[in-house]
Amino acid sequence: MSLKDQLLKSGLTNAKKARKAEHEKRQDAKNPDAETAQKIALQAIAEKTERDRELNRVQQQEKAHRELGAQVRQMIATQRLPRQGGDIAYQFTDAKKIKKLYVNAEQQGQLTRGQIAIVRLGEAYELVPTVVAEKIRTRDEAAIVLLNARASAEAADADDPYADYRIPDDLMW
């Protein structure tokens, strides 16, 4: 005689409680240990937390990138130089393509001497002072299209036999 039968016969338990005990026993046999289930749950929570952190980091990077882009656009919009009356076509390269920007004679000289620079604002090109272009370069290198180095007299070598024959860098083709 089984323990269940003995308990039923003595009246210490009833049939309903016995069936419930058997059901729980079968459920425990089907499910992994409660400890293992808890470990799996904790691991899932940890993985979700890590995914959330990574997603948050990516969103923060995208936000910072958008903020830098907005700063660059604002600097260009507020510091751009007027180009009205530009009658000289200044040619420059952008992404291996030759582009043309109409400037006046003073701006052409400033471009060749490195006093002003050409920057990209969307699909348009604008002229900004070199100081502003350097600030833009720290935020977004790709926005700078043309920034000539300022000419310095110290760059000439003392032993150079062609020092008296200066090569102009503003040749128009």
Number of H helices, E strands in the chain: 5, 5
Average pLDDT for runs of 10 along the chain of length 173? 82 86 80 71 91 95 92 89 85 88 88 90 88 90 84 59 73 61
Gyration radius of the chain's alpha carbons: 38
Model pTM greater than 0.75? no
Helices 130-139/34-79 angle, 10° precision: 170
pLDDT at 17: 87
pLDDT at 147: 85
pLDDT at 119: 92
CA gap 113, 161 in Å, rounded: 24
